[in-house]
Amino acid sequence: MTDELAVTGIECFAHHGVFDHERRDGQRFVIDLVLGFDTGPAAASGDLRDTVDYGTLVAEVVSAVTRDPVDLIETVAERVAGVCLTKTRVEWARVTLHKPEAPIEEPFTDVALTITRHRRGPGEGEGPHD
Protein backbone atom coordinates (compact mmCIF):
# COMPACT_ATOMS: atom_id res chain seq x y z
CA MET A 1 0.00 0.00 0.00
CA THR A 2 1.28 3.46 -0.89
CA ASP A 3 -0.06 6.58 0.73
CA GLU A 4 0.47 10.12 -0.58
CA LEU A 5 1.85 13.20 1.12
CA ALA A 6 1.50 16.52 -0.72
CA VAL A 7 3.45 19.69 -0.04
CA THR A 8 2.35 22.46 -2.39
CA GLY A 9 3.25 26.03 -3.15
CA ILE A 10 6.93 25.95 -2.12
CA GLU A 11 8.23 29.29 -3.38
CA CYS A 12 11.81 30.18 -4.14
CA PHE A 13 13.78 32.62 -6.24
CA ALA A 14 16.33 31.26 -8.70
CA HIS A 15 18.23 32.12 -11.88
CA HIS A 16 17.26 29.34 -14.31
CA GLY A 17 16.44 29.92 -17.95
CA VAL A 18 17.86 30.06 -21.45
CA PHE A 19 17.85 33.85 -21.72
CA ASP A 20 20.54 36.11 -20.31
CA HIS A 21 17.99 38.23 -18.41
CA GLU A 22 16.62 35.14 -16.66
CA ARG A 23 20.10 34.17 -15.51
CA ARG A 24 20.93 37.75 -14.52
CA ASP A 25 17.67 38.88 -12.88
CA GLY A 26 16.21 35.58 -11.68
CA GLN A 27 12.55 34.84 -11.09
CA ARG A 28 10.10 33.05 -8.83
CA PHE A 29 9.60 29.30 -9.07
CA VAL A 30 6.90 27.34 -7.25
CA ILE A 31 7.19 23.64 -6.48
CA ASP A 32 4.47 21.12 -5.65
CA LEU A 33 5.46 17.71 -4.31
CA VAL A 34 3.47 14.51 -3.97
CA LEU A 35 5.36 11.67 -2.31
CA GLY A 36 4.30 8.04 -2.25
CA PHE A 37 5.21 6.01 0.81
CA ASP A 38 3.68 3.80 3.48
CA THR A 39 2.56 5.95 6.42
CA GLY A 40 1.54 2.92 8.47
CA PRO A 41 4.76 2.66 10.50
CA ALA A 42 4.57 6.33 11.53
CA ALA A 43 0.87 6.06 12.35
CA ALA A 44 1.58 3.09 14.60
CA SER A 45 4.64 4.50 16.33
CA GLY A 46 3.98 8.24 16.40
CA ASP A 47 7.70 8.67 15.73
CA LEU A 48 9.03 11.21 13.22
CA ARG A 49 11.80 8.76 12.29
CA ASP A 50 9.13 6.48 10.79
CA THR A 51 7.90 9.01 8.25
CA VAL A 52 9.19 11.72 5.90
CA ASP A 53 10.25 14.89 7.71
CA TYR A 54 8.67 17.33 5.26
CA GLY A 55 10.17 20.37 6.99
CA THR A 56 13.67 19.13 6.30
CA LEU A 57 12.68 17.97 2.82
CA VAL A 58 11.32 21.40 1.86
CA ALA A 59 14.57 23.06 2.96
CA GLU A 60 16.55 20.58 0.83
CA VAL A 61 14.26 21.15 -2.17
CA VAL A 62 14.65 24.94 -1.92
CA SER A 63 18.43 24.50 -1.73
CA ALA A 64 18.38 22.27 -4.81
CA VAL A 65 16.29 24.76 -6.81
CA THR A 66 18.27 27.85 -5.86
CA ARG A 67 21.77 26.46 -6.57
CA ASP A 68 23.60 26.08 -9.89
CA PRO A 69 21.52 27.81 -12.59
CA VAL A 70 20.52 25.64 -15.56
CA ASP A 71 18.74 26.33 -18.83
CA LEU A 72 15.67 24.11 -18.55
CA ILE A 73 12.96 23.51 -15.96
CA GLU A 74 13.20 19.82 -16.88
CA THR A 75 16.65 19.77 -15.29
CA VAL A 76 15.42 21.51 -12.15
CA ALA A 77 12.46 19.12 -11.83
CA GLU A 78 14.80 16.10 -12.12
CA ARG A 79 17.02 17.62 -9.44
CA VAL A 80 14.05 18.03 -7.09
CA ALA A 81 12.80 14.48 -7.73
CA GLY A 82 16.29 13.22 -6.93
CA VAL A 83 16.23 15.02 -3.58
CA CYS A 84 12.85 13.47 -2.74
CA LEU A 85 14.06 9.97 -3.61
CA THR A 86 17.01 10.27 -1.22
CA LYS A 87 14.45 9.80 1.56
CA THR A 88 14.53 6.06 2.18
CA ARG A 89 10.79 5.74 2.80
CA VAL A 90 9.78 7.50 -0.45
CA GLU A 91 8.82 5.01 -3.17
CA TRP A 92 7.97 7.62 -5.80
CA ALA A 93 7.83 11.38 -6.18
CA ARG A 94 5.66 13.56 -8.38
CA VAL A 95 7.17 17.02 -8.83
CA THR A 96 5.41 19.95 -10.45
CA LEU A 97 7.67 22.89 -11.17
CA HIS A 98 5.84 26.14 -11.91
CA LYS A 99 7.49 29.04 -13.72
CA PRO A 100 4.75 31.70 -13.51
CA GLU A 101 6.98 34.50 -14.81
CA ALA A 102 8.32 32.64 -17.85
CA PRO A 103 9.35 34.89 -20.74
CA ILE A 104 6.24 34.52 -22.89
CA GLU A 105 4.93 37.50 -24.87
CA GLU A 106 1.24 36.55 -24.76
CA PRO A 107 -0.86 36.68 -21.57
CA PHE A 108 -0.70 33.44 -19.58
CA THR A 109 -1.17 32.27 -16.02
CA ASP A 110 1.53 29.65 -15.51
CA VAL A 111 4.00 27.26 -17.09
CA ALA A 112 4.13 23.99 -15.18
CA LEU A 113 6.05 20.79 -15.75
CA THR A 114 5.09 17.63 -13.85
CA ILE A 115 7.33 14.58 -13.65
CA THR A 116 6.99 11.34 -11.70
CA ARG A 117 10.02 9.33 -10.70
CA HIS A 118 10.17 5.97 -8.94
CA ARG A 119 12.84 4.51 -6.72
CA ARG A 120 14.71 1.81 -8.58
CA GLY A 121 15.35 -1.42 -6.77
CA PRO A 122 18.57 -3.40 -7.04
CA GLY A 123 19.03 -4.81 -10.53
CA GLU A 124 16.37 -2.65 -12.14
CA GLY A 125 17.54 -1.22 -15.44
CA GLU A 126 16.70 1.71 -17.61
CA GLY A 127 14.73 -0.33 -20.13
CA PRO A 128 11.74 0.95 -22.10
CA HIS A 129 9.25 -0.53 -19.64
CA ASP A 130 10.85 0.90 -16.47
Tens digit of each residue's pLDDT (9 = 90 or more) over 44-82: 999 999 999 999 999 999 999 999 999 999 999 999 999
Confidence (pLDDT) at 17: 96
Buried b (16+ CB within 10 A) or exposed e, 60-87: bbbebbbeeebeebeebbbbbbebbbeb
Pairwise CA distance, residues 34 & 87, whole Å: 13
Q: Which CATH number fits domain 3-118: 3.40.605.10, 3.40.50.150, 3.30.1130.10, 2.40.50.100?
A: 3.30.1130.10
99, exposed or middle or buried, with CB in 10 Å at 0-12, 13-18, 19+?
A: buried
Pairwise CA distance, residues 37 & 12, whole Å: 26
* pTM score, whole prediction: 0.90
Confidence (pLDDT) at 1: 64
> Which stretches in the chain have pLDDT values below 70?
1, 121-130
Confidence (pLDDT) at 2: 87
The overall average pLDDT reported for the chain is 93
| Active site (annotated) includes residue 87 | no
Confidence (pLDDT) at 120: 77
Which of these is catalytic: 48, 99, 109, 130?
99
Task: Tell me if 114 sits within 8 A of 129, measured CB to CB.
Answer: no
Contacts of 68 (CB under 8 A, 6+ apart): none
